[in-house]
Structure 1
Amino acid sequence: MCKRQFVIDNDGDNFLNINTCAVTGAISIGCGYSQLQEFSSAMNLPIMSQKTYQKNHKLLSENWQQLAQQSMDQAAEEERNMAIAEGRVTKNSTPIIDVIADGVYGKRSYKKIIRLYPVLPQL
């Protein structure tokens, strides 16, 4: 709002700029822009604009989504390999894996095991 630019250096090993780090911290503890603004104000630090916050939030969300997908793909591949090694396959050699899942926040699975037949690329 004041049109002034403040420069705060990062350490050389950190690939994220200070705004991205601030947004990461806010998201990690369940805050949004308003809470980050209040926190910065309490420490007498300048705050980024809401537009900058949204830009960083979008960037982080996209990256986290991509990393989550990669992690799930890797876990599925490990489960597939373990099922094959243990001989848990269907008649047509599709691995059978066990998955424990909650349907939604308000329901509990009570550790019910659901048998899934994943569609994974053939190696």
Structure 2
Amino acid sequence: MRAYAAMALGSAERGDLAVHSALVQILQLHLGDAPDPVSLFALVDRQVVAVSRRQIPFFPKQNPLGGLTPLQRRAVLLRTTHGFSEAEIGEILDLQLSEVKALLDASACKLAGRGPDVRLLRPVRRQG
């Protein structure tokens, strides 16, 4: 989750703050069982959004993800680095499935000329 928040916000420090806030919320909820990954990422994503409202994330244009909007970048990261399905991404980002598909399609078009390191349509296998 730290990697997701750091990449989404463009800074490890801001990402850590978002994860910290999400973990504090989890502790405040007094959960006995560990929440599922979708719920955890949804909490972190809400903190990413909250932090990014206070500070515009810096993301260099030379970075393959630098040309994406923050929402597109978050959807791509969830798909490619964490292997979430489109439905799970929708749940995490609080979007309809059609909106997630449109985001990923638009991102694929923007990333098409960015080189072979961007593998948008092939999510990693999620472990655990």
Which structure dedicates a bigger proportion of its chain to strand?
Answer: 1
TM-score between both structures, scaled by the size of structure 1? 0.32
With normalisation by structure 2, the TM-score equals: 0.31
Of the two, which has the highest radius of gyration? 1
